[in-house]
Structure 1
Amino acid sequence: MHPPALALETVGNPWLWLGFLVLVLVLLALDLGVFHRRDEVIRAREALGWTAVWASLAAAFAGLVWWRFGANKAIEFVTGYLIEQSLSVDNLFVFVLVFASFAIPPKLQHRVLFWGITTAFFLRLVMIVGGTALLSRFHWLIYVFGGFLVVTGIRIFFHEEQEHHPEKSVAFRVLRRLVPSTSRMEGHHFFLVENGRRLATPLFLALCMIEISDVVFALDSVPAIFGITLDPFIVFTSNIFAIMGLRSLYFAVAQLLRRFEYLKAGLALVLVFIGLKMVASSWVHVNAFASLGVVVTLLGGAMAYSLWRTRREATGSPEA
C-alpha cells in the first residue's frame, strides 16, 4: 500500500480520456484543415489571437475540472499548465535556432510546428502513462524524480547561456546518417524523389530536431508536473493544453524572448521547489493552492524583473 501522499488519484475514466482525445483531434483537424490550409506567414497579431484562444480553452477546461472534480483538481491543472507553458519557453528558442539553421521559410514554419507538436501529443501520452505505471508500482521513484529535478534546477540556475548550433549536434549528425536527405525544398513536402531516390527535405530534418528537443524538455516537465499531482489525467491534459498553444506563442513572442533573460532562473527555482516537495512528500504535505502560489510568485517575479532590467538597459538608466 502506498503512503497517502503518493496514492494515485482516480479522476480519469475511459470515457473522460476518450472525450478529451477526440476534442484534441478535432481541434488539430480544424487548425490545419480549416484555419491554416494555406502556407502563409503567421503575423504577430494573428498569433496573439490564437494564443488567447488556446489560453481561453485551457481556462474553460480548468473551470470544467473545478465543476466536476472540485477546486483542488482545478488548481493542480492550472499549476501543471503554468509549469509546462513556462518550461516550453526554452523550446521556443530551439524553434528559432532550428528554423534558422535549416533556412525554413516563415510561411512553412507553421506546418513544421503543427506536425511536431501533434507528434509530441502522442509522445507525451506514452511518457505520462509509463510514468504513472512506474510510480504506482515503485512509489520510491518519486524520490528519484524529485532528486533529478533538484539537480536539474541547480544546473540550470548556474549554467551560463551559450550559443547553440542544432546542425552541429550529435543528434543531427546521427539523423543525417540514418535518413537520406537533400538540401532542396519541394514546397511544403517533407520528402521528394530525386534521381529515383526518396529523400528527406530540410523540412523533415527540422521536424525531427524539434521532436528530439521536445523529448529532451519533457524529461524535465513531465516529472515536474508529477510533483504537483499524481493524477495522470490532470498531468496529461495540462501538458497537452500547454503544448497546443505553443505554436501560436512562438509566432507571437519569438522576437521578444530575449527580454525574459531571468526567466530561466525562475524556472530553475521552480524545479528545485517541486523536487524538494517530491523528496519530502512522505513527511511534509504542500497543498495545491500553496504550490500554485509559489510557482506563480517565482515565474511572475522572474518575468517582471527581466522586463525591468531590460527596460533600464534600453533607457541607459544607471544601476541602483
Structure 2
Amino acid sequence: MKNLETFKKNLTKDLEQNAPPSLFQIKPVNDWIDEAKKRPIPKMLFGEFWHEGELCILFADTNQGKSILAVQIANSISSGYSTCSLQLEAKQQSVIYIDFELSDKQFECRYSDDYSNHFHFNNNFYRAEIKPNSKIPKEFNSFEDYLCESIERIIIKHNSKVLIIDNISYLKNGTEKASEATTLMIFLNDLKRKYNVSILVLAHTPKRDYSKPISKNDLSGSKSLMNFCDSSFAIGQSFNTTGIKYLKQIKQRVVEEKYGIENVISYSLKKDINFLKFEFIGFENELNHIKQIEYNSLSSRNAKIVSLKSEGNSNVAIADQFNISEGTVRNILKKINT
C-alpha cells in the first residue's frame, strides 16, 4: 500500500513538472476578497451605465445617435466634466476613440459651425482611424488579426485607460455568428484585464419590433456579446414625440438597475453652435415612447387576448404584445370568464 501511494505521488509530481502552464489560478475565496479589497472601487464613467474596468456595449438602430453620444462621453471623460445629467466620478484622463464610421471631414462638420468656429476638444481626447490603402503585413493571417494587434499597440503607446470603439462590426466580419462574437469578446476582455482599460463598444440592432420595449435580444449577435460584456445600454427612438431619444439600461453587474423600463432617460438631439449632443429632458416610462398598436375597439382587443391565451401564451407575453400590464391582461380574462 505504501509503495502504491509513493507511486501515485511520484506520478503526480512528474505530470505537474511536464505539463503546460495551467489556465487557472486557484486560491481560497477569502484570499480573492483580500486581494480585491486592495484595489479601488470602480468609479462611474457615464453614470450607472458604464463604470471603470468594464467592457460595456452601447447599441441602437442605424441613425439613432450612437456615435454622437459616444463622442459626447469621450469628451466628458477627457475634459473631466459630466454630461447628459449623469455622474462622472472618475478623474479626468485620456480617451482613445477608434472611429470606423466617419471620415475626418465628416467629423469636422459635426463639431463646427458650417466648417468654421470649430469646437475645441481637450488634448486628452485621441481619435484614430484606419490609414488609407493599408496592407496586411505577412506575419498576420487576416485583417482582423492585424486590426486587433494595432488596437493593442495604441493602448500601450498612449497608456490610456479608456477605449471607445465605433463600431464592433469592423473588428469581426460575423458578429451575428456565435463563434465569431465569442472570439471577439474574449479578445476585448483580455485587453480589459491586461491593461486595466475600460472599453465602450458600439453595436447595432437588426430589425426589431418597435412596439415592444428594448431588450438584450435586440442586440445583433446578442447571446454571445451580452454574455461576455459587463454592462450594456441602448438608445431608443420615441415614436410618440418627434426627435426624442431615450437611454435604457440593459445589463449591469456592479449596480442595481436604475434606468429600466419604468425610468428611461429622455433626450433631444441638439447642435449647440459647434457641438452636436444629447440634451437631457427628463425621466419617463419606456411605454410612453414605443410604437402603439392600433385596434378598432376594446372589444376586438379583448377578443384577441382571449384567443392568444387559448393558444397557450402567458399573460406576460400577451401584455408585451399589447403594451399593457400583466395585471390588465389578468383582469380582462377574469371578467370575460365570469
TM > 0.5: no
In the superposition, the TM-score normalised over structure 2's length comes to: 0.25
In the superposition, the TM-score normalised over structure 1's length comes to: 0.26
Is the radius of gyration larger for structure 1 or structure 2?
2
Structure ranking higher on relative contact order (CA contacts 8 Å, 6+ apart): 1
